[in-house]
């Protein structure tokens, strides 16, 4: 299991608004290349994003499913990337001061070849990617707030 966190100058609601827009997934998840569809009702538990990962023309099509949701505090996802595996991703949003949010991302590989890698090796691959994902998520949340959305 790997964990990264960062603090961003916006509210948990603003960050959650980005998470709740399934079409923005490719804007903050490193490696996501294309959203093919978003289930109606996203991000209700059980709804899915239909996405592609990787560089064109080697795109892999898969889905990410909402496993648990407590708006605007947490979202837990089952993220697929077959044939490479699957992961459980938990995003936690905590207001540390008014207008300031700590975002925590906890990822655990749950299926596929990556599951047999020792956790320190998984962390070498996942921590830099997830830190960049949080930076992108924060930029989208702050940018949307500044744009008045």
- pLDDT > 90? residue 3: yes
139: Cβ–Cβ under 8 A, 6 or more apart, which residues?
Answer: 28
CB half-sphere exposure, 143, CA atoms < 13 A = 10
Report all structural domains of the chain as residue ranges with CATH numbers, in order of start. 2-146 (3.30.530.20)
Query: What are the DSSP E strand ranges found in the chain?
Result: 2-8, 32-38, 48-53, 60-70, 74-81, 85-97, 100-111
What per-residue confidence (pLDDT) applies to 82? 63
% of the chain exceeding 90 in pLDDT: 70
| Phi, psi at 104, each rounded to 5° | -115, 135
Q: Extract the tokens encoding 80.
A: 């697929």
User: Residue 21 burial by CB count (10 A; 0-12/13-18/19+): exposed, middle or buried?
Assistant: middle
pLDDT band at 55 (very low <50, low <70, confident <90, very high): confident
| Phi, psi at 47, each rounded to 5° | -80, 160
* Distance separating alpha carbons of residues 6 and 87, to the nearest angstrom: 21
* Distance separating alpha carbons of residues 87 and 22, to the nearest angstrom: 18
pTM (two decimals): 0.91
Pairing of strands 32-38, 2-8: unpaired
Give 57-81 pLDDT, tens digit per residue: 888 899 999 999 999 999 999 998 7
């Amino acid at each position: 299991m790997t964990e990264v966190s960062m603090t961003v100058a916006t509210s948990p609601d603003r960050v959650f608004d980005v998470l709740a827009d399934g079409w923005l997934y490719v804007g903050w998840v490193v490696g996501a290349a294309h959203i093919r569809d978003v289930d109606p009702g996203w991000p209700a538990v059980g709804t899915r994003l239909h996405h592609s990962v990787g560089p064109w023309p080697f795109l892999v099509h898969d889905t990410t499913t909402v496993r648990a949701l407590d708006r605007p505090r947490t979202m837990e996802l089952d993220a697929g990337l077959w044939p490479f595996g699957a992961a459980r991703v938990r995003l936690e949003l905590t207001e540390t001061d008014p207008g300031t949010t700590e975002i925590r991302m906890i990822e655990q590989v749950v299926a596929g070849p990556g599951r047999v890698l020792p956790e320190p090796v998984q962390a070498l691959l996942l921590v830099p990617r997830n830190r960049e994902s949080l930076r992108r998520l924060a930029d989208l949340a702050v940018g949307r707030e500044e744009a008045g959305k």
